[in-house]
Amino acid sequence: MTLRRTFLTASAALALSLTTFTLPSFAEDTVMVGGAAMYPSKNIIENAVNSKDHTTLVAAVKAAGLVDTLSGPGPFTVFAPVNDAFAKLPAGTVEMLLKPENKDKLVKVLTYHVIAGNIMAADAMKMVMDDGGKHTVKTVEGGTLTLTSKDGKLMITDENGQMATVTIADVKQSNGVIHVIDTVLLPK
C-alpha cells in the first residue's frame, strides 16, 4: 500500500508540475530574418539588432536617436530596408546621413518608414483592394506612402515614385510588425 501511495503522490506531483509548465522562448512562432530568429515577444529594436541584413538600418536608428522610440509600446509598422537597399543609394548618401550634423535628415528618412499602428500584410492588401488597387498611408514623418500589389506581393511607393517590394512580411514584434523591404523609401 505504501508503494502505491508513493507512486500516486509522485504521479500527482508530476501532473501538477506539467500543468504549470510554460513553453520556452524557442517555441515562439518566429520568422528568420538576416539569419536570426525574430521573436514576437521582443520589441522591434531587440529583434533588429540580431539581423545581419539590417546592420545599416540599426546603425542609422542609433545615430538618429530612435532606439528608445522604437523600443516603446507602439504599435508601429516598420518597413525595414535591408543593407542591399541602402547600398543602392547614391555613393556617399549613407555616410552623409550618419553624420551628427545631418541627424534631422536621418530622422526624417527613418520615420518615413514607420506607420503608427499594427498593419499586417493581409490588412494592407485588403486596403489596396478596397481602394481599387492603391491605398495611401500616412507615415510618422508626416509624408505618405502608396501601397499597391504586384504578383501577390505588397509594394510600397514613396512620394518620389521609388518603389519597394516587401520581401518578408508580417514579422511580428511585441510592439508592432516589421515588413522587410528591398529599397530605401525617401520623403520629398
pLDDT in tens, the chain (188 residues): 454 444 444 444 444 444 444 444 445 788 989 988 999 999 999 999 999 999 999 999 999 999 999 999 999 999 999 999 999 999 999 999 999 999 999 999 999 999 999 999 999 999 999 999 999 999 999 999 999 999 999 999 999 999 999 999 999 999 999 999 999 999 99
Is there a contact between 107 and 63 (Cβ–Cβ < 8 Å)?
no
Cα separation values, 175 from 2, 80, 93, 109, 178, Å: 54, 15, 30, 21, 10
In a domain, 154, yes or no: yes
Residue corresponding to grid cell 512580411: 169
Is there a contact between 113 and 61 (Cβ–Cβ < 8 Å)?
no
Q: What is the pLDDT of residue 20?
A: 43
In a domain, 22, yes or no: no
pTM of the complete model: 0.84
Say how far apart CA 106 and CA 60 lie, in whole Å: 7
In a domain, 1, yes or no: no
Q: 130 is in which domain, residue-wise?
A: 28-181
**CB neighbour burial string for 131-159, b if at least 16 within 10 angstroms, e if fewer:** eeeebebebbbebebbbbbeeeebbbbbe
Q: What is the pLDDT of residue 14?
A: 41
In a domain, 172, yes or no: yes
The H or E element that residue 179 is part of is strand 176-181
Say how far apart CA 65 and CA 86 lie, in whole Å: 19
Q: What is the pLDDT of residue 123?
A: 97
Residue 129 sits at the vertex; the CA angle it makes with 125 and 134, to the nearest 5 degrees, is 85
In a domain, 20, yes or no: no
In a domain, 39, yes or no: yes
Q: What is the pLDDT of residue 28?
A: 75
In a domain, 19, yes or no: no
Is there a contact between 140 and 111 (Cβ–Cβ < 8 Å)?
yes
Is there a contact between 120 and 114 (Cβ–Cβ < 8 Å)?
no
The count of domains in the chain is 1
Q: What is the pLDDT of residue 19?
A: 42
The H or E element that residue 85 is part of is helix 83-87
Supply the CATH number for residue 111's domain. Answer: 2.30.180.10
In a domain, 15, yes or no: no
